[in-house]
Amino acid sequence: MHYAAPIADMRFALEACADFWSLRERYRDLDEDTLAAILEGAGALAAETLAPLNRSGDQAGVILKDGVVTSAPGFQEAYNAFRQGGWQGLAADPAYGGQGLPRALALAVMETVHSANMSFGLLPMLTLGAIEAIEQHGAADQKALYLEKLISGEWSGTMNLTEPQAGSDLGVLTTKAVPRADGSYAITGQKIFITWGEHELVPNIIHLVLARIEGAPAGSKGISLFIVPKFRDADGSRNAVRCIGVEEKMGIHASPTCTLAYEGATGWLIGAENRGLAAMFTMMNAARLNVGMEGVAVAEAAYQKALAYAKERKQGGALIIEHPDVRRMLMTMKSKIQAGRAICYATAVAADAGDKAREDLLTPIAKAWGTDLGVEASSLGVQVHGGMGFVEEGGAAQFYRDARIAPIYEGTNGIQALDLYGRKLLGDRGDAMQALIAEGRVVAGSSHPKLNAALDALADATAYMLAAPREDAQAGAYAYLQLAGDVVGGVLLVKGGARDANAEQAALLRFYARTVLARAPSRLAEIKLGAAVLRSEDFAR
């Protein structure tokens, strides 16, 4: 596939919309030239090394034989290039070899990776989760043992949450941890849907595994987090964790989705006993933002492909890009991509700035809005291609298949909506959201009536969500998240436009305001639907 990192769009979203340079105080060594060099370097890797493997990886998939997972041709060389470029540790702790750069910059780098090759991008993404978990919850000896090798990309990491009976509800997981005399635990159980859970691209894989210590309380209060390396650190011997299956999936074929069997594997507790879910959530927050970015990234890839097709395909005597309906599809893609990109970057900037309330509020929005966009834009990309979009050779179909997982994993988008409502909105009685709205009003000023109307709708909706009975609020939670994403995207685009006058971005904003923002009043009706309407259908058939 052809891909070129959209550096100008990325910089507009990062610097003008997401206020990247508000971090200048915290990252004194960073300047515009370094930023540009990093984005250019990542873009080159993505375009030259990763994108060429996207279709071939989709076709080859992965092969599991006797517990060994073989990756698609070229992935070893690509991973080596990624590792040697030092890309894994961009935002990691310099004490362990990281470069200590802003997470927002690392996220922008990952955008290019995800665009070029979503299957590949999952490997560093999961390693990043392991790094953050160990940085934040690991003991000193654990940091010493693992961080350097994870940050350098020599080893990779995984997240082991799901079990056959425990998906969205982790409280019922049954993987057991039995204490041993040496302070380690014997981990036994089966984990499913483990992304890059087994492969040969690195010599060791560090699994972070949720399990229940013998005698722990039932439910989510009895879950602990463990480090289970594929090869044990003490003697380097193979640990008792085996890949017993890889899923046959609709997309991301080059990324192995593994069933892992733990049979008395040696694990070490990370963080406090029975506090595993909390530790996992730290890791998941970063992963969720990254998945939201992935949605935007696959949308960008689909957009680039559709745009190229529309500029070369003739119908009715003209290039199809001249047809208003084709332009409508392309502008829908591009304007929402720019909004989604700004939302993701702004979330990361909030994290870098230590603005936890803002980060927490934006994370579920970035995840769900970004990944819904991935599905929508990849579908539009297929449509722009006409019949060629449905033929695998055309390439547009793969984005459509790949993109569909993102609204599901790392917490379904329905779970994100409940998180936004239950944990975030109720968690501070709406303070963070109201601060966001207030900021939005300043940005909108008096010259953006569509944005102001959308902000009114969001304020109205927020008051409703805070006051409504729980089940009613839950019935409207998804539409509420959608509206919040629409509005935050609009605020950031307006903000960017105010800071950096740019005709192309202004055109995207105009389109966004008249399509996405114009929908705000009807979103409000969906939010206020109420649970009774959902109860009235008995689904008897």
Which parts of 313-372 interact with its own copies (CB under 8 A)? 314-317, 321, 323-331, 334
Of residues 7-26, those binding its own copies (CB under 8 A): 8
By C-beta, is 148 or 419 nearer to its own copies? Answer: 419
From 43-51, 85-93, 96-104, 393-401, span contacting its own copies (CB under 8 A): 393-401
Q: Which candidate, 170, 179, 235, places its Cα nearest to that of 209?
A: 170
Q: Catalytic site residue 15?
A: no
28 contributes a contact to its own copies by CB under 8 A: no
Question: Hey, what's the torsion of the CAs at 97, 362, 407, 511, to 10 degrees?
Answer: -120
DSSP secondary structure of 504-518: HHHHHHHHHHHHTGG
Q: Which of 61, 102, 124, 251 binds its own copies (CB under 8 A)?
A: 251
Rounded Cα distance between 507 and 430, Å, is 33
Contact 249, 405 (CB under 8 A): yes
Q: Which is the catalytic residue, given 247, 410, 526, 537?
A: 410
Q: Identify the H or E element spanning 264.
A: strand 257-270
Task: Tell how far CA 53 is from the center of its chain.
Answer: 21
What residues between 448 and 487 interact with its own copies by CB under 8 A? 471, 474-475, 477-478
**DSSP assignments along 329-341, one per residue:** HHHHHHHHHHHHH
Touching its own copies, residues 62-91 (CB under 8 A): none
What is the smallest separation between the CB atom of 417 and its own copies, expressed in angstroms?
A: 6
Out of 114, 404, 448, 495, point to the residue binding its own copies (CB under 8 A).
404
| Number of Cβ atoms within 10 Å of the Cβ of 469 | 10
Beta carbon nearer to its own copies, 3 or 79: 3
Closest CA to 482 of 424, 531, 438, 522: 522
Q: Tell me the C-alpha distance between 193 and 197, whole Å.
A: 8
* Options 379, 437, 488, 496; binder of its own copies; rule CB under 8 A: 379
Partnered with residue 227 across adjacent β-strands are 208, 268
The span from the CA of 365 to the CA of 128, in Å, is: 21
Interface size with its own copies, residues (CB under 8 A): 90
Element containing residue 373 per DSSP (H, E): helix 356-385
- Say whether residue 312 binds its own copies (CB under 8 A): no
d(CA 262, CA 273): 20
Q: Tell me the C-alpha distance between 389 and 383, whole Å.
A: 6
Q: Is 504 in the site for its own copies (CB under 8 A)?
A: yes
> Site for its own copies (CB under 8 A): which residue of 187, 211, 241, 417?
417
The interface with its own copies within residues 93-122 (CB under 8 A) comprises: none
Instruction: Give the nearest distance from C-beta 383 to its own copies in angstroms.
Output: 6
Tell which positions 203-232 bind its own copies, by CB under 8 A. none
Q: Supply the minimum distance, in Å, between the C-beta of residue 289 and its own copies.
A: 20
Query: Which positions from 510 to 529 touch its own copies by CB under 8 A, shown as an x/- string?
Result: xx--xx--xxxxx--xx--x
Amino acid (1-letter code) at residue 504: E
Does 383 engage in binding with its own copies (CB under 8 A)?
Answer: yes
1 touching its own copies, by CB under 8 A: no
Cα–Cα distance, 483 to 476 (Å, whole number) = 11
**Interface of this chain with its own copies, residues 157 to 186, rule: CB under 8 A:** 162, 165, 167-169, 171-172
Residue among 227 and 380 whose Cβ is closer to its own copies: 380
Chain position carrying tokens 């569509």: 450
Question: Could you give the C-alpha distances from 275 to 27, 143, 186, 271, in angstroms and in order?
Answer: 32, 19, 18, 7
405 lies in the binding site for its own copies (CB under 8 A): yes
- Using the rule CB under 8 A, which residue among 397, 433, 491, 492 binds its own copies? 397
**Interacting residue with its own copies among 90, 225, 298, 382 (CB under 8 A):** 382
437 lies in the site for its own copies, by CB under 8 A: no
* CB nearer its own copies, residue 101 or residue 339: 339
Least distance in Å: CB of 38 to its own copies? 21
State the minimum distance, in angstroms, from the CB of residue 367 to its own copies.
Answer: 14
**Tokens describing residue 60:** 């080859």
Query: What's the closest the beta carbon of residue 47 comes to its own copies, in angstroms?
Result: 14
How many degrees, rounded to 5, is the angle at CA 48 between CA 30 and CA 349? 30
Catalytically annotated residues = 410
